[in-house]
Structure 1
Amino acid sequence: MQRTQTDGVPVFSILEGDGLLAGVALRFGCGTRDETFRTMGVTHLVEALVMDRLAAVDQADFGSFFGLDETRFHGYGTLDEATRFLEAVCRTLSDLPLDRLEHVAGRLDIEQAAPVDEQISQVLGARYGAHGLGLACHHGTGYRELTPEMVRTHAATYFTRANAALMVTGPVPPGLRLPLPDGARPSRGTPRVLAGHAWARRDLTGVALAYEVPVGSAAARIGHQILITRVERLVRDRLGIASAVEAFLTARDAGSVERMLLLDAEEGREDAVAAALWGEAVRLAREAPTAEEVEEEEVAWCRKGFVRQPSVPAELQAASDSELYGVPYLDGPTMVRALEAITPADVREAVERAVAGALLVVPHGTPPSLTGLDGKRLEHTRVCERWDVPPPRGEVHGRPLRARLRRGGGGGDAERIVRTPRSLVWCQDDWYHEYRFDEVVELERWGDARRAVARCGCLLELVPGDFQGMDRLIRALDDAVPPARTRERAEPPNRT
């Protein structure tokens, strides 16, 4: 692999083929996780504006995509075709066709593309809430709500030469220029998890386990593979359940990554699959794997992937990841040496650290009864709902008689909102959800009604007449949430 530079953009290339064709991918370290709740969708909108301008260019084998942490313009063709495509992308990013904003935004509102699979997004939402990686679980207010200024600001921050890297498989086109805008390397914070060593419910068709591990940790990599193997065997051989296992990996910051295991579960068997997944994770955290598991299964598997069947795209990806995100770059031989030095005790310790902050996510209606590392019952995240404990004290606003009759009774008397100096607390029966003012990521004002979006991603809607003293509840929310997190709307948006 060679590393060069074109117009300040690092270029990583591996020479393959006959020298007449090249595969290119211009990457930007920017994705959904780099947006805010208010600007959700702006990365995809920038990408779509570029491709809309390039529609007049012959680009049958060239395209683009956006994800959680990157946006990519890529393709395969002759050196002249690759040059024209890359230079057109760069020129368009320097002068976005904002006159096409309404048209492109309308099309994207219809398409409703997502950066990751719906199941993965649900887990990320449970893990991070309505910010960072958790934004994958939300749709925002719509692309047409994004203003030209939002688009310009986002592009000027993230779509610059300082936040770009080019990968080339084949010869680097001679005379290639990459006239991207100047800019500074954007800073990327670490998203804060809502809870760890707990379980949560979401709209899943299976169960999932999400946890954080250090970047480049050979012990964590082996532990992850051992856990996959054990769970597959347990679910298939002992429980007789056909359950596919899917693994997912994404960067959290320069020092850590988020790993995820997702298992399909037949309806009615979700609790058994959840118990198998969590139980094997805890067992591996308490008891070291056998030397045979580490040596014969996992190290051999990793050596095959890194040495005997090296992947050119993976090598270019790893090198450009290091450039874009500051993560360490480990080539194949280096990783194999690290893997060969790992002991079963190393694996157990890595898994224990991961499980100590892990989140188990199960479908609605699944009541897991599991044991944590400390031998005590594994608790619900307690981020959103709290059970069997009294809510904070404050002014109680119950439903008026008319609202209770409209809802047909059935527990309406138990619904109430408690107003405290720091929050509004929605209460019903034996549970409550506290919406703290300082954790409202967005307050939407549509006429006399309000919608508050909490950091956990939950919504609190305040509609006049639904509760007694609603004017005092709305005034408390308006006074506590700063204007920077407030949006005026003509009507309530459709949002999940």
Structure 2
Amino acid sequence: MIQHLDVDGVPTLLAPTGGPMHAGLTFRVGTADETLARSGITHLIEHLALAPLGLADYHVNGATAPAFTTFHTQGSEADIAAFLTTVCGHLSDLPVARLDVEKEILRTEWSSRGSAAVDDIPLWRYGARDFGLSSYPEWGLSAFTADDLRQWVARWFTRENAVLWIAGDRVPTGLRLALPSGVRQPVPVASSALPTTPAYFVSGARAVVLDSVVRRTTAASTFAGVLERELYRSLRQDAGLSYTTTTGYEPRGDGYATLRALADALAEKQDAVLGGFIDVLAKMRVGRIEQADLDATIAKREDLLATTEVDAARLPGYALNLLTGQPNLTLDEYRAELKAVSIADLHDVAGEVMASALLMVPGGHTADWAGFTAAPTHSADTVDGPTYRAREGAGGIRLGVDGVTYLQTDGPLTVRYADCAAMLAWPDGARQLIGADAIVLHIEPTMLGLPPGTIQAIDAGVPADRHVTMPARSADQIPQPKPIERQPEPARRSWWEVPVMVLSGLGTLLMGGVFLLLTIGMFVAEEGSEDDTWFWGVIVVGWVLTVILALPIVLLMRRRR
């Protein structure tokens, strides 16, 4: 049974465990509460709170998620009391002497992070805001000051915005949670970058991934388990197309949950995996769901509910519900809801899944043939203003009083200043504007014929709190237009060339005409005297002279070319 307690004004949950004592302090704040231009502040504070602890002899960890930040530890009662007391002390008095060090550590962490198939899904669904920010780097790190961090702590890392949970038989002796007072913060409202669903986008990953948003219900979480069984049977067991077929169900904190499914694929089998994946979704959408799969999923969950550690295992999720105002069911209530889930309920969930579906397909493939609409990769409109062409290729940039449009052959990219989530600014003048809808517009002054003052006008148009200063680029990182190939200069022409060509032409015509008539006369004349041989010799010599007279014309014309 989970007990409700209070420690220093922080709501506290306590449940028994047969293993080592472990505990967590969870705050209702995460990346979704930030902005793109100032992203990373929650993660930075989490690092600063843990950094002075050094290398502990027991397990300690921190995690920043879209809507929550948790400090977790496992060890003895004394270890847990010391850890949580120290973390709260650091939050109240941040060790800002380590600020620059921790910034560099976070940059290194991001640069070394491996890419996962699902990393880009949030930005495609939500855009460059709230729940979509987990797809982006922490660009705000360089700008944060100690005062920025203290203000963030005062708003978010408070007693009223936290829940402590402990898996153990009692609250550790000596535990103190010295946190500032504040208010409980609501979960941010989720945005959308998708004009319509179901939708799809193309990725370079060798996997098919489904992302959907459904109402948070027991039937929806059960559907995830049933879908996983169907994908495994269809794509791995029967067809041998995939190795990994998995699903996930994650409450968002606002009454909805993200439901995902993934199937990997070899390059030569991507068509088959995509087709088989969509067939499974279509099958469940029309209600063709096996009762045996539902029974097996329910039985597996009932087995987990029967373990002695069930209450301790529920503590993290229970704490999140408490922070967000979502209902917490008793074990008996959850068992009753689980047993009541029917095929009809799963059919309804399948309808929700397909209605909100965002499908990630491998490169070179589409899903429009299955009723999915391509997610937008270009803007639907452009700004009004003068247009400046690119120095190479087609396209150019159009500058308006309220934004910028980059014109491309395959469609425009428009970011209006009011909707700009962040503008990355390089010292050499390059700018990258990222719209709230995740449209990215890159401006390289070296590649555009822009009038003086253009970059300054763009900087003035974008609100100052959305500017992100980027490190200087080396010369070879700045694109340059290809040099124009110079045409060889024409040869100089002398004054005497034309007269020589005229005289040569006249002489050739005159002599060639005379000897042409003589040649014709010899062919039509009757056979005559022995003097014919002499005449033929004269004609041959005449034609040789004609050719010699024509040579100046040929040589001078070649010289001119």
Find 2:447's aligned residue among 466, 473, 480: 466
After TM superposition, give the deviation of residue 15 of structure 1 in Å: 2.5
How far apart, in 2, do the equivalents of 1:252 and 1:258 lie?
7
How far apart, in 1, do the equivalents of 2:418 and 2:274 lie?
34
Paired position in structure 2 for 1:481: 462
Paired position in structure 1 for 2:525: none
- Secondary structure at the aligned position of 1:370 is classed as helix
Residue identity matched to 2:274: A
Residue identity matched to 2:354: V
Paired position in structure 2 for 1:379: 373
Number of aligned pairs?
470
Task: Describe the superposition over 1:328-354 as per-residue Cα deviations: whole angstroms up to 9, x where unpaired.
Answer: 212332122112222222211121022
Paired position in structure 2 for 1:96: 94
After TM superposition, give the deviation of residue 208 of structure 1 in Å: 0.8
Q: For residues 362-441 of structure 1, what are the structure 2 equivalents within 5 Å? A: 362-372=361-371, 378-382=372-376, 384-385=377-378, 392=382, 394-395=384-385, 397=387, 399-400=389-390, 403-404=391-392, 412-413=393-394, 415-419=395-399, 423-441=403-421
Please tell me whether the aligned partners of residues 58 and 74 of structure 2 are also in contact (alpha carbons under 8 angstroms).
Answer: no
Find 2:431's aligned residue among 450, 455, 459: 450
How far apart, in 1, do the equivalents of 2:264 and 2:457 lie?
44
More displaced, 453-462 or 153-162? 453-462
Task: Describe the superposition over 1:417-443 as per-residue Cα deviations: whole angstroms up to 9, x where unpaired.
Answer: 345665433333333333333321112
Q: For residues 33-52 of structure 1, what are the structure 2 equivalents within 5 Å? A: 33-52=32-51
CA spacing shift, 1:253–1:166, aligned 2, 3 Å: closer
Please tell me whether the aligned partners of residues 189 and 253 of structure 1 are also in contact (alpha carbons under 8 angstroms).
Answer: no
Task: Describe the superposition over 1:285-322 as per-residue Cα deviations: whole angstroms up to 9, x where unpaired.
Answer: 2225244443x223223322333576344311232112
- Secondary structure at the aligned position of 1:119 is classed as coil
After TM superposition, give the deviation of residue 142 of structure 1 in Å: 6.0
- Secondary structure at the aligned position of 1:385 is classed as coil
Please tell me whether the aligned partners of residues 22 and 172 of structure 1 are also in contact (alpha carbons under 8 angstroms).
Answer: no
Paired position in structure 2 for 1:352: 351
Paired position in structure 2 for 1:84: 82
Paired position in structure 2 for 1:2: 3
Segments of structure 2 that go 5 or more residues without pairing to the other structure are: 478-561
More displaced, 148-157 or 468-477? 468-477
Paired position in structure 2 for 1:284: 284
Paired position in structure 1 for 2:270: 270
- Secondary structure at the aligned position of 2:163 is classed as strand
How far apart, in 2, do the equivalents of 1:394 and 1:239 lie?
54
Please tell me whether the aligned partners of residues 29 and 69 of structure 2 are also in contact (alpha carbons under 8 angstroms).
Answer: yes
Structure showing the higher helix proportion among its residues? 2
CA spacing shift, 1:454–1:35, aligned 2, 3 Å: same
How far apart, in 1, do the equivalents of 2:100 and 2:236 lie?
51
More displaced, 419-428 or 447-456? 419-428
CA spacing shift, 1:437–1:274, aligned 2, 3 Å: farther
Please tell me whether the aligned partners of residues 106 and 144 of structure 1 are also in contact (alpha carbons under 8 angstroms).
Answer: no
CA spacing shift, 1:292–1:76, aligned 2, 3 Å: closer
How far apart, in 2, do the equivalents of 1:41 and 1:71 lie?
12
Residue identity matched to 2:53: L
Paired position in structure 2 for 1:169: 167
After TM superposition, give the deviation of residue 113 of structure 1 in Å: 7.6
Identity of aligned residues (%): 25
Residue identity matched to 1:199: Y
Residue identity matched to 1:44: H
After TM superposition, give the deviation of residue 149 of structure 1 in Å: 2.6
TM-score normalised by L of structure 2: 0.76
Please tell me whether the aligned partners of residues 42 and 146 of structure 1 are also in contact (alpha carbons under 8 angstroms).
Answer: yes
Residue identity matched to 2:280: E
- Secondary structure at the aligned position of 1:121 is classed as coil
Q: For residues 64-463 of structure 1, what are the structure 2 equivalents within 5 Å? A: 64-112=62-110, 118-141=116-139, 143-170=141-168, 171-195=170-194, 196-215=197-216, 217-294=217-294, 296-307=295-306, 311-372=310-371, 378-382=372-376, 384-385=377-378, 392=382, 394-395=384-385, 397=387, 399-400=389-390, 403-404=391-392, 412-413=393-394, 415-419=395-399, 423-447=403-427, 448-463=429-444
Paired position in structure 2 for 1:14: 15
CA spacing shift, 1:461–1:446, aligned 2, 3 Å: same
How far apart, in 2, do the equivalents of 1:95 and 1:125 lie?
34
Task: Describe the superposition over 1:107-127 as per-residue Cα deviations: whole angstroms up to 9, x where unpaired.
Answer: 222222899973232222222
Over 6 Å off, 4+ runs: 113-117
How far apart, in 2, do the equivalents of 1:160 and 1:72 lie?
13
How far apart, in 1, do the equivalents of 2:410 and 2:111 lie?
38
How far apart, in 2, do the equivalents of 1:310 and 1:169 lie?
9
Please tell me whether the aligned partners of residues 396 and 448 of structure 2 are also in contact (alpha carbons under 8 angstroms).
Answer: yes
Residue identity matched to 1:140: E
How far apart, in 1, do the equivalents of 2:401 and 2:272 lie?
43
How far apart, in 2, do the equivalents of 1:370 and 1:239 lie?
22
Task: Describe the superposition over 1:185-243 as per-residue Cα deviations: whole angstroms up to 9, x where unpaired.
Answer: 1232222121231001234231211111112x122223222222222222124532133
Residue identity matched to 2:464: P
TM-score normalised by L of structure 1: 0.85
How far apart, in 1, do the equivalents of 2:105 and 2:365 lie?
38
Residue identity matched to 1:173: P
CA spacing shift, 1:300–1:186, aligned 2, 3 Å: same
How far apart, in 2, do the equivalents of 1:175 and 1:306 lie?
33
More displaced, 176-185 or 278-287? 278-287
How far apart, in 2, do the equivalents of 1:465 and 1:163 lie?
49
After TM superposition, give the deviation of residue 282 of structure 1 in Å: 2.9
Residue identity matched to 1:266: L
How far apart, in 1, do the equivalents of 2:21 and 2:359 lie?
43
Residue identity matched to 1:223: F
- Secondary structure at the aligned position of 2:37 is classed as coil
How far apart, in 2, do the equivalents of 1:115 and 1:250 lie?
22
- Secondary structure at the aligned position of 2:306 is classed as helix
How far apart, in 2, do the equivalents of 1:346 and 1:43 lie?
39
How far apart, in 1, do the equivalents of 2:202 and 2:425 lie?
29
Residue identity matched to 1:239: A
How far apart, in 1, do the equivalents of 2:453 and 2:384 lie?
13
- Secondary structure at the aligned position of 2:252 is classed as strand
Residue identity matched to 1:163: N
Task: Describe the superposition over 1:164-195 as per-residue Cα deviations: whole angstroms up to 9, x where unpaired.
Answer: 11121112213432111211112322221212
CA spacing shift, 1:487–1:105, aligned 2, 3 Å: closer
Residue identity matched to 2:318: A
More displaced, 339-348 or 42-51? 339-348
Q: For residues 19-34 of structure 1, what are the structure 2 equivalents within 5 Å? A: 22-34=21-33
CA spacing shift, 1:157–1:452, aligned 2, 3 Å: same
- Secondary structure at the aligned position of 1:277 is classed as helix
Task: Describe the superposition over 1:100-154 as per-residue Cα deviations: whole angstroms up to 9, x where unpaired.
Answer: 2112212222222899973232222222222222211111326333222322222
How far apart, in 2, do the equivalents of 1:39 and 1:422 lie?
22
How far apart, in 1, do the equivalents of 2:297 and 2:425 lie?
55
